[in-house]
Structure formats: structure tokens, C-alpha cells
Structure 1
């Protein structure tokens, strides 16, 4: 059996974009991809608007929490997707890096976070199709 690709989503606070991306990829991949997320400066908790818009899709983030970025997490990943963490993300040779330019949901309400979620969802589905082609 082939190795399962591992994707790491990184943003500064791991409270919004990277959490949404991880939950969406995990949902769509249904076990075909290992998904992790982390922040270079993790927040205290997940953005409540992010939690709410993900709940609208039936994805419950209530048990999730912001996690610190570790060198080990980056080394374990096949693909590292950064979202506005700039130079705080460690770079290792041989890894595939993608930088997704996304609006930061911090301080925004549900109506402003929904389009960010939908943008992330489109990107995640395209990434999944690339990583795990449908037979």
C-alpha cells in the first residue's frame, strides 16, 4: 500500500485559516491524507466565527485548538502550505511548499469569514485531486 501523503497547514495563530484548511482537507480526503495544522505564534483559542462557519458545513471544530509549529511537524509533512506566516515558517530542502494568499479571518464576523472558508475549500479540493488522484 502506498504511503499516505501528509499535509501541514501553517498560519500565524492557527486559529482560523489553517484550522479551516485542515478540517476541510481531512473531511474531503476521508482518510486518504494525513492532515496537521500549526501556528508560528498560536492563539489561545480558535476564532468563534471560524468555528461557526465550519459548523454550517457540519464540521465541528469544538475539540480543536491552536497548536505550536514544530520542526518535526514540518519534517514529517510532504506538503507544507503557509498562509501569511512569512519568515516564521521553517524551510527544509526536499519539501513542497505552497503559500496561499488568504484574507485573515481574525476580528471578522461570520459573513466575512464565509468567503474565506469557501476559497480555502476550493483550494483544498484542488490540492486533494493532485495528491490523491481519483482512480
Structure 2
């Protein structure tokens, strides 16, 4: 008997302008909750120099370390190679490829905010990531 090949691993790209807040949080939650059952990318149309310190602090509160992460520039290849592209306020800067699944998540921008203001954004991002995993048929890790 020929073994059944494993199902394809869905790939998700999270995009925001600076890749310093929302998209970093979403990518970290997806990687943590989806593990090797999902491929995760994040990028920004105009990447910042560093991840927002309030975002790093808010994520550390829930056991996610973003201290070593750096914002990455959005490339056409990253969009082309992703099954799902989740935009978070990147506007017209996101390349469009027919046949891709695009989601636009309206979330407050954590730029310039303190940890108190970032916490509810972080929690909203986690809820949406959990919903996305369910839509992709990937069971979230505990």
C-alpha cells in the first residue's frame, strides 16, 4: 500500500505598514498555536527599525518573546508564496494576486501606545488568529 501523503501545510502572510506591531503579534500567535502545521510570514510595506517595545512587553506578558524579531519588508514573492494574506491597514501597498485569499483585519494600531493600550489589541489579534486556524482546519495548540 502506498502511504497517504500528508496534507499540504497552509501558509499565511500578515501585513501591516511597519511590521512592528499587529503583524508581528499575529505571526507570533499563529506560529505558537499552529506549530509546524502552518507556515507563517509577516512583513510591512514600510518596515520600522524595530518591533514596538510596548508590543514586545504585551506579548511577553502572555509568554511570547518578540525581543529578537525584526520588521521585514513586504515582497511580491512573500505574497505569491502565501495561501492567505491578512492585511492590517497596509492600504494599496499590498500586491494582489488572483486566486489568493485576502482578509483585512481592522485593528487599532499600537504605534505610539503604551502597554495598557496594546493589551486589548493583542487579545483581539489572538482571537482572530484562533478563528483563522479553525477556518484552515488546524487545531490550535493549548
Partner Cα distance (1:129, 1:25) in 2: 11
Counterpart contact for 1:83–1:102, Cα < 8 Å: yes
Unpaired segments of 5 or more residues in structure 2? 1-5
* Aligned-residue offset at 1:63: 1.5
Answer with 1 or 2: which has the greater Rg.
2
Q: What is the aligned partner in structure 2 of residue 93 from structure 1?
A: 98
The number of equivalent residue pairs is: 134
After the TM superposition, list the runs of 4 or more consecutive aligned residues in structure 1 that deviate by more than 4 angstroms: none
* Aligned-residue offset at 1:133: 4.4
Unpaired segments of 5 or more residues in structure 1? none
Of the three residues 37, 41, 62, the one matched with 2:46 is: 41
Residues 54-65 of structure 1 mapped to structure 2, 5 A cutoff:
54-65=59-70
Superposition RMSD on alpha carbons, in Å? 0.7
* Aligned-residue offset at 1:132: 2.2
TM-score, scaled to structure 2: 0.93
Counterpart contact for 2:37–2:138, Cα < 8 Å: no
